[in-house]
Structure 1
């Protein structure tokens, strides 16, 4: 065993023990009954219906964090995210800052709040995107965003729309690794690293360049891979269901800059928890370290 591989192996052992129940013990949460989901599901269905009826939006994937977790014995409150695409908006954002693709496509989370026990929806407002990625304020881009979200949230009672406060993050909270490989090879190696994990589920890919090309816009190669591990993810969200908007599922962005250099970027989950002012559980910290270790190894020559 080399000095480089020993920390990764020890981390994997700790990770396995934690989520097999040896270290975590009983969560103390009751199993969610079908009626526990009724209020958040109603909000989700409203948002999903709005997206389905829209001529400019396309659903990418829905992820029911709570039910997926419960299927593998990891209980958390209702938390269900809808990811949907508006290629014109996304292409313009990526032209301004390619890293912004980590927060694209747009998404809305329906969840049950631990604070008031009520169902809410929450999303990242334009102020957040502007602050994190330096987007233009008061631009046609902001107007387009607001129009999209008004369409998506139509019919949702205002008192059920929650917001993060503050919108900004103290740092961008993005980890970027330089890849020594071509763009296509980097995508392949990242996907192989994901597939090699025995507890992960794939939720799809978004090829932003192909989407932009379809509407006559040229951007650099940019692909987002969506995946997650239901058991550890639900454990990390057990006291922080709003992490289901940003931190879960995982989003691996492979992108090429103007100098043809290739990079892998992904969220620092601890920074997202700080921004949301939610519990930074041991489970969340272990997942964060696991992501760094797995993908650093994937890009080693």
Structure 2
């Protein structure tokens, strides 16, 4: 794994982006689409905040999935369905640094006591890492 990976909060893997939130989101959307990942929703939280006359730094959430990978995890531990489909968050922090973050599959494994799904969790982790790197780095 790249040295650009950080663990911002328990269970969240983050990668610093070289681009703006908007450009990172555009790049992520393209890489997800190119890889056949379903984008269930794209939520612009900043836009939502402005709709109620509040301010928020740029924050975009993607809800994504691939039933071929998610279903086996739910078969191993059905409560994992509360965290699936997977989410990827792009935000600009208070220092102006743009980051891409996602729930680390190892954290989900612990949270839901998932057993028997190590291979699929590794595939998910590798995919999320690769998608993040593609969106965030030159």
* TM-score, normalization by structure 1: 0.41
Count of aligned residue pairs for this structure pair? 131
5+ long unaligned stretches in structure 1:
5-132, 134-170
- For the pair 1:261 / 2:102, whether they are aligned, the reply is no
Which of 240, 249, 254 is equivalent to 2:77? 240
Q: Distance in 2 between matches of 1:193 and 1:260?
A: 24
Q: Distance in 2 between matches of 1:186 and 1:219?
A: 18
Are the aligned partners of 2:77 and 2:113 in contact in 1 as well (CA < 8 Å)? no
Structure with more strand by fraction? 2
Matched residue, 1:212: 49
* CA displacement 1:152-171 (0-9 Å, x = unmatched): xxxxxxxxxxxxxxxxxxx7
* CA displacement 1:79-114 (0-9 Å, x = unmatched): xxxxxxxxxxxxxxxxxxxxxxxxxxxxxxxxxxxx
Q: Distance in 2 between matches of 1:259 and 1:287?
A: 30
Give 1:285 shift.
2.1
Q: Secondary structure at the match of 2:87?
A: strand
Give 1:233 shift.
1.3
* CA displacement 1:1-50 (0-9 Å, x = unmatched): xxx9xxxxxxxxxxxxxxxxxxxxxxxxxxxxxxxxxxxxxxxxxxxxxx
- For the pair 1:188 / 2:22, whether they are aligned, the reply is no
CA RMSD of aligned residues (A): 1.9
Query: Structure 1 runs of 4+ off > 3 angstroms?
Result: none
Q: Distance in 2 between matches of 1:284 and 1:259?
A: 33
Are the aligned partners of 1:270 and 1:280 in contact in 2 as well (CA < 8 Å)? no
Q: Distance in 2 between matches of 1:225 and 1:251?
A: 6
Are the aligned partners of 2:31 and 2:135 in contact in 1 as well (CA < 8 Å)? yes
Q: Distance in 2 between matches of 1:176 and 1:288?
A: 12
Which of 176, 201, 208 is equivalent to 2:14? 176
Matched residue, 2:85: 249
Equivalent residue runs for 1:32-111 within 5 Å: none
Are the aligned partners of 1:176 and 1:264 in contact in 2 as well (CA < 8 Å)? yes
Q: Distance in 1 between matches of 2:19 and 2:34?
A: 19
Higher relative contact order, chain-length normalized (CA < 8 Å, sep 6+): 2
Q: Secondary structure at the match of 2:76?
A: coil
Q: In terms of Rg, which structure is larger?
A: 1
Give 1:296 shift.
1.4
5+ long unaligned stretches in structure 2:
3-7
Give 1:276 shift.
2.0
